[in-house]
Amino acid sequence: MGSTIAEKIIKSHLVEGEMVQGTDIGLRIDQTLTQDATGTMAYLEFEAMGVPRVKTERSVAYIDHNTLQTGFENADDHRFIQSVAKKHGIYFSRPGNGICHQVHLERFGIPGKTLIGSDSHTPTGGGIGMLAMGAGGLDVAVAMGGGTYYITMPKMVRINLTGKLSPWVSAKDIILEVLRRMSVKGGVGKIIEYGGEGVKTLSVPERATITNMGAELGATTSVFPSDEITRQFLKAQGRESDWVELKADDDAHYDEVLEINLSELGPMAAAPHMPDNVKTIDELKGKKIDQVLIGSCTNSSYLDLMRVAHILKGKTVHPDVSLGIAPGSKQVYNMLAQNGALADIIASGARILECACGPCIGMGQSPNSKGISLRTFNRNFEGRSGTADGQIYLVSPETAAVSAIAGVFADARELGEAVEIPMPEQFLINDNMIVPPAPVEEMDSVEILRGPNIKPFPISEPLPETISAKTLLKVGDNITTDHIMPAGAKILPYRSNIPYLSNFCFAVCDEKFPERCRAEGKGIVVGGSNYGQGSSREHAALVPLYLGIKAVIVKSFARIHLANLVNAGIVPLTFVNESDYDTIDQMDELEIPNIRELVGKSEITVYNKTKGTSFKVNCTISERQRDIILAGGLLNYTRESVK
């Protein structure tokens, strides 16, 4: 039996375990990336390991999230990250150089290599045939130190693309169709692999749009073949020598196969408040809008913005609409400026934002109260925009641009014949905003610069024999990391300050939660299905750790958050019978005896002392994860092992 693309990369990087679905495997990691919202904590963790210099082929620190400097905090973090990068062998992408995933695709990504990043949209790299995965910052720190990255061997899903997209229908509409079919939890435990004749009709930026939003499926990652189109993209980036061909064998086995005829797709939108709440533009056409934002790591490529510029040329943004556009990288921005497209965008009345994540993470450009905002982003979780009652729709750049002119949801197909934007034969290459690390002989003289907002990693303790604590919070299904640890301009500057962040933990669900935690000193959280979906932010585990949360009991977990809980030393438990969820009320006192002996080995009995009842839970983790939990977290477990 032949191998899939993902299986080939896994096999060539396997250092521990066997490629048996559902079992723990350890991978050698070639490249890592961080961004500044997660990077400060990741580098504090790296420092704690005592490894003098990174051991990966390439590690890059990007500044793209916390670029709104309303106080000293963000600037101090950036200075800290730059000094750590210089000292420890990490390349540093300065503020203004662009969004990590866009820049990494342009300048560093290599087909067939493994990449993990402390950002859930790291699978963007699958657009050029990388095995690229989002991970918690501590996992990234371990990989930088030469440690192994562990995942559960996933199932393989093939999505066959046939036909060709109709005029004004885009790659965003393809991934929205996949989300419509599979849902935000349909990819859990799976790698999504794209194939079929339709793949040949998609450029690398279009493929990257699709793999980027594969994160919204809950998938481990998504990947495209590395073919002649990939080679041409890398050649245009001056990196043809990085290209290798990579494709699935004809007799490769897939656990699931989906068929999508690109010719049958039309423009779509994900309606509030989930990326899988997909509707056709025909259903929404004529609905008044208030705001349009174009950019993010999903849709800010040269091709995306050239199409937007064509639509906007000679027109004016509707007077009732605010249009903001953020190029994904300095390379894109420069090229738009040189060819005149930027002038067309500016003349339309669009507001040009810096090359950064910006409004995608709630960093500015929040819509008006109950405002309807069309965004080319990847997430529309409730409150993520910074406006609690904002109505966020996810759309393609084409739909966004034509709607900004019309003032209502509009169909770009009515523009007639589509504009053909060719891929450049040569991109503008200027890496002057990427700072290389200091030479080995100079690293000892580099001073690490720390600001007063940078606080130590929270202390975790080895797992006790018994956990006895109250249920300090009970939540429902599809709780995201934005619910657990919100983003936004007011909170993100404190990502390196866990004590301060703790004031906002679960504030979206219950603003009294931190107060209860401090009063009780310890606690348990109970939740529904797909708990912890969304961002890779380990703060959604570290802050509950700081607040004394000892265990989380849910119907099911999202992959990265489960790993982050283990890394923090918080016990992740799932109901054996999901109906037992209904028997627990907030503030019920729960006791889990013999937890140290039973965790990760067999069913565990939880006693509800308030109700006088009991129920069964599982702790489905690997033997290695069990050892991490027993030690009180990954930092304790690995502090000496990677030196």
435-451 tens-digit pLDDT: 999 999 999 999 999 98
Q: Which of 485, 490, 560, 559 is nearest to 525 (CA)?
A: 485
Active-site annotation holder among 65, 104, 239, 307: 65
- 64 is a catalytic site residue: yes
Q: Catalytic: 94? A: no
Among 104, 307, 384, 537, the active-site one is 537
- Of the candidates 580, 540, 542, the one whose C-alpha atom is nearest the C-alpha of residue 558 is 540
Q: What is the pLDDT of residues 311-350, one digit of tens each?
A: 999 999 999 999 999 999 999 999 999 999 999 999 999 9
CB-CB contact of 601 with 539 (8 Å): no
Which of these is catalytic: 30, 36, 64, 290? 64
- The mean pLDDT of 145-154, rounded to a whole number, is 94
State how far the alpha carbon of 175 is from the alpha carbons of 4, 192, 205, 224, 481, in Å: 21, 11, 13, 13, 22
Longest CA pairwise span in the chain (Å): 72
Percent of the chain having pLDDT more than 70? 99
Range 559-588 average pLDDT: 95
Q: Supply the pLDDT for residue 516.
A: 97
Is cis: bond before 273, omega within 30 of 0?
yes
Exposure b/e, 73-104, CB count within 10 A at least 16 = b: bbbbbbebbbbbbbbbbbbbbbbebbbbbbbb
Cα 631–chain centre separation: 28
Residue 643 confidence class, pLDDT cut points 50, 70, 90: very low
Q: Residue 282 is inside which H or E element, if any?
A: helix 281-284
Which residues 6+ apart lie within 8 Å of 476 measured at CB?
527, 528
Active-site residue (options: 119, 276, 304, 411): 119
pTM given for the model:
0.90
User: Which of the four pLDDT bands, split at 50, 70 and 90, describes residue 641?
Assistant: low
Catalytic residue among 59, 535, 556, 622: 535
User: Which pLDDT belongs to residue 129?
Assistant: 98
- In the set 88, 379, 384, 559, the catalytic residue is 379
| Cα–Cα nearest to 376, from 420, 311, 319, 314 | 311
In this prediction, residue 639 has a pLDDT band, given cuts at 50, 70 and 90, of: low
Q: Catalytic annotation on 379?
A: yes
DSSP structure string for 428-476: ----TTEEPPPPGGGGGGPPP---TT--PPPP-----S-EEEEEEEE--
Encoded tokens for 97:
């150089």
> Tokens 């008006």 map to which residue?
368
| Secondary structure percentages of the chain, helix, strand, coil, to 5 | 35, 20, 45
**Domain 467-638, CATH class in plain words:** alpha beta
Residue 119 annotated among the catalytic residues of the structure = yes
What is the per-residue pLDDT for 453? 86
267's CB contacts (< 8 A; 6+ apart) are: 168, 169, 170, 173, 280, 281, 395, 396, 398, 399, 411, 412, 413
Query: Has domain 272-415 been given CATH number 3.30.499.10?
Result: yes
pLDDT tops 90 at residue 640: no
Domain ranges of the chain: 5-264, 272-415, 467-638
Q: What is the pLDDT of residue 353?
A: 96
Can you give the pLDDT at residue 363?
82
Note whether 494 and 609 are within 8 A (CB): no
Total residues belonging to the chain: 643
**First vs last Cα of the chain: how many Å apart?**
40
Rounded Cα distance, 398 and 496, in Å: 38
Residues 349-379 pLDDT 10s: 999 999 999 899 888 888 999 999 999 999 9
Integer Cα distance of 164 and 199 in angstroms: 9
The chain-wide mean pLDDT, for the chain, equals: 94
| Separation CA 342–CA 352 (nearest Å) | 9
- CATH superfamily of the 5-264 domain: Aconitase, domain 3 (3.30.499.10)
Contact 398, 415 (CB under 8 A): no
CA 32 to chain centroid? 14
Q: Do domains 5-264 and 467-638 have the same CATH topology?
A: no
